[in-house]
Structure formats: structure tokens, C-alpha cells
Chain A
Amino acid sequence: MLLLALSFGAYLFSLVKKPFLYIGLILQTAYIISRGFSLGRLPLVGPHDTIAFLSASLIAFSIPFSVILKKQPLFHNGLAITASAFTVFSLISKQNNAPLPPVLKTLWFESHVVLAFLSYALFGIAAILGYFYLREKDDNAEGLQYRAILIGYCLFTLSIVFGGVWAYLAWGTYWLWTPKELWTSILWLFYGLHLHARLRQWWTDRMLAYLGIAGFAVVLFTYLGVSLLMKSSHSF
């Protein structure tokens, strides 16, 4: 937990000294790896571990975007604040140290979860880029937001495919009508709408930026809201 607490400090301090963002990433990665070794499994069960992974993925994926944007302070600060908030949430969430139930011991589950959180991280970056575009009117940000969403959408769809295969093997069907699956469909359709809207000139870059920000709100509800508030196959 010390490494995680230190990573939180590093993310916050990066608002003053930028390189601390990457020190935070290294600390958080070290924490995730140490959790994996101590548990003897992929540490991706429950909000504590998943949100730490989301936070680290957010910063890791942001590196190429930061390079292209030449470390714009607003984008950097957006990342630092988001990563700090996620890390706090991880710190206050209860750790799940129980061994995995047999049904979760499969590469399908691990791939499903890893891909889902990598896509969430890219959608998070897209939202920050959307905010950055609205504030700075930098055309690069719009193009980068599109790339983040396109790759995130692909990873998210692959996550659904892997989840479907796993569900078929574990529960006999690739699709269950539960709130989580419904919200997953909403998220998938929403970003599908975003990618298609970009093809129409009528949709201004400004509207797409807002759509990218709204999308991340749907992501957060799909991930945390549904898992914490509703009964589903993905409850924490």
C-alpha cells in the first residue's frame, strides 16, 4: 500500500514538477506487480486493484499523446488530477485478497478484464483531450481524441468478444441480459455513434469534444456505478 500511497503523492506533485507523473506511474506499476506476486494471480479483481490498473494504464497510454502535444500543461494537469483521483479511490477501496474462484482462472477472463481497462484508459484520455480542445482550440487534440477513441473502441470490442467466449464456456451463453451487459451495449453504441458522427461535417469538432467527455461519464457509470449499485454478473 505504501507504493500506491507514494504514487498518489507523485501524481499530485506532478502538478508542480511534470516528471513526477512518470515516477508515479513507475511506483504504481511496481505496486501492481508486487500485488500480483503476493496474490499469485493477476491482481484485477475488485475496485482496489482494477482502479489502480486503470490509473496506471491512463498514464502509460498518455505518453505518446503527451509527446505529440509537446507536454501541454493543461493536458498534463488533466492526467495528473484524473490519475490522483483514481488512486485515492483505489486507496480507500477494500483489497480483495481471496484466491480466485475456479471459474475466474482462465486466460479469457484475464484478457477480458485487461482489455476492458485498457480501453477505459483510452476513453479517459479522449475525455481529457476533449477538455483540452475546448479550452485551447488545438486542432491536434481533436485528431488525437479520435485516435484514442478508435483504439479504445477496438480494445473494448475485443474485450466484449473475449468476455462472450468466456461466458459461453463458463455459463453456457455468450450473452446475459443483466444491467452490466446493457450498459456495456450503451457504451459500445455511444462510441460507435462518436466514430460515425466524425464522418459528418455537420458535427463540429466542439460537439465531438463534448461527446468524448460525455462518453467517459458513461464509462465510469458502466464500470463503477453498475458494479456497485446494481445486481449483475459483474458485481463487486
Chain B
Amino acid sequence: MKPLKNITGFFFSLRTTLWSLFLLVAMFLAGAFIMPAREEFQTIHSAPFSQWLARQPLSVTWWLWCSLGILLILTVNTLFCSIESIVKKRKGTNLLLLISPQVIHIVFLFILFAHLLSSAGGLSVVAAANEGTMFGISAENDFLRIRDISIFASPDGYISDWEVNIEYLSGQGVILTDKIKPNQPSLQMGLNVNVKDITARPYKAVLLQISKDPGASWALAGGILFTIGIVTLIIFRMKTERISSRSTSLPHKP
């Protein structure tokens, strides 16, 4: 029983949180210097992250593998500590103050899950195209065609706006039409179709990016939850925390 107690004690401990965060910062710091120096990272967005990672030599990705291990520990630790906190303080008077930090912890898990989904199933393809170009976008004979490209320039020659009209086609012909504008991608058929670059000369052309990011909705849900959690936390924490009362207002953790 003692090894089990040791393991649960490890995952319930705030010390584990601190060490995990410290080691994660250390790994990311190492990565921050390795990443710009190694050309392997130039291709990081060319395939789903998990596939890219599996193909790269360990000598350049060791910090990412270590980070994944630490994040796994941190995930279990976050779950354990959040449950423990709710159980211990459930008789407290202020429910919102009790759950708002846990909401933020859940958001952290949402974001990790979003990254997991994106790294497993995300894809991104980039291709140059002009008016009339057609791409296959699925195995079921679905196509995407650039109908027309409009570019608007300011009097001093800068591109001030642009608009790309596209059509989705299947065997029966055009099934729907859509418009891509700056910060307004076409979000149809589970794809994000956007324009990475655009030019008017020598002829109107675009660098079209077709991507799929299955983690995006989880990340967005996490972002919305975070906003709710943090507003609640700040309002209630500021009310309850006395400025110089660290020793009286904070729990004594092992």
C-alpha cells in the first residue's frame, strides 16, 4: 500500500506542481535556443505535429519529448489538486471563489487537449492559385475553385483590402459559394480556407492555405471558460485577500 500512497501523495502535492512548472520552463528555454538554430524546425508546420515529431532526430526534439512527459504529470497533478481543493473547501461559504481557480485549471486541461487533437489530426496545405484554379479537397470528389480575386489599393499603392470568391464543387456541380476576406476565412466542410498572401502583378494570384485544426473548438471553449473564470476569480479574490495577509489567508501546503 505504501508505494500507492507515495504515488498519490506525489500527484496531490503542490511541490509536484512547482517542480513540473519549473522543469517545463527549463525545457522550453532550452527549446527557445535550439529551435532557431536547427533547420529541422523549418518544416514543423508541414505535417501534423505528432507525425513531424516522430520523424525528427531525438537530438533536436528531446526537449519536446521531455515537455510532453512533464505535461502528462502536470495534467494528473492538476486533476488531483483541483478535486482535492473542491472536496476540502466544499463547506466554504463562497462557491464562486471556490470553483473559479478550478475553472482556470480545467481551461489548462482544455488547452492541452486542444493541442493533443491538433497535433494528431491537424493539417495544412499551401498552394499558389489564380482565377479559375481548382483543387481537390477530399477523397469524395469535392473540389474548391477560385472564382475571382479582387484587390483594392490605397492612393499610395499599399494593398488596403482584398476579396476572393470561391466555389465548392462536387460531382453535381457547385454546391456552395463563399467569400474569403482578411481575417474572414471560409469555414466550410470542416476546413479553414484562408489567403496567406496575395499579389496583383504580373497577374492576380493568391497563396491559398487549406487547413484543418480539430483542436481549435476546444481551444476556443477553453478561452471562453477562462474569461468567465478569471473575471470571477479577480472580483472575489480582491475582495477577500488582505494585502499583507499571506500567512493568514493562504493554505499551508506540504
Contacts and interface: CB of A to CB of B under 8 A. Distances in A.
B160 A199 contact: no
B160 A102 contact: yes
Interface string B243-254: 111110011110
Interface of B: 14-15, 17-18, 21-22, 24-25, 28-29, 31-32, 35-36, 41, 44-45, 49, 114-115, 118, 122, 124, 154, 156, 158-162, 182-185, 192-194, 196, 209-211, 213, 215-216, 219-220, 222-223, 226-227, 230, 233-234, 237-238, 241-247, 250-253
Given A142-B246, A176-B45, A193-B25, A201 B253 contact: yes
13 contacts: A99-B158, A103-B182, A142-B246, A158-B230, A161-B223, A169-B185, A170-B182, A172-B211, A179-B32, A182-B31, A186-B32, A201-B247, A201-B250
Given A173-B211, A186-B28, A164 B219 contact: yes
B182 A200 contact: no
Query: Chain B CB within 10 Å — which of A106, A108, A182 has the most?
Result: A182
Contacts of B252: 201
B243 A198 contact: no
B243 A144 contact: yes
Contacts, number: 153
B215 to A, nearest CB: 8
B243 A166 contact: no
B14 A200 contact: yes
Contact of A177 (B44, B161, B253): B44
A193 B18 contact: yes
Given A101-B159, A172-B211, A183-B32, A68 B18 contact: no
Contact of A102 (B182, B227, B242): B182
Interface string A140-177: 10111011001100100110010011101111111111
A161 B224 CA distance: 9
Nearest to A138: B244
B98 to A, nearest CB: 15
Given A193-B25, A199-B14, A174 B35 contact: no
A198 B250 contact: yes
Contacts of B36: 179, 230-231
A93 interface: no
A98 interface: yes
Query: Chain A CB within 10 Å — which of B32, B122, B227, B250 has the most?
Result: B32
Given A99-B160, A150-B234, A161-B227, A143 B209 contact: no
Contacts of B183: 102-103, 105-106, 108, 166, 169-170
Nearest 3 pairs of A and B residues by beta carbon: A172-B211, A143-B243, A102-B182
Contacts of A171: 194, 196, 209
A192 interface: yes
A105 B182 contact: yes
A156 to B, nearest CB: 11
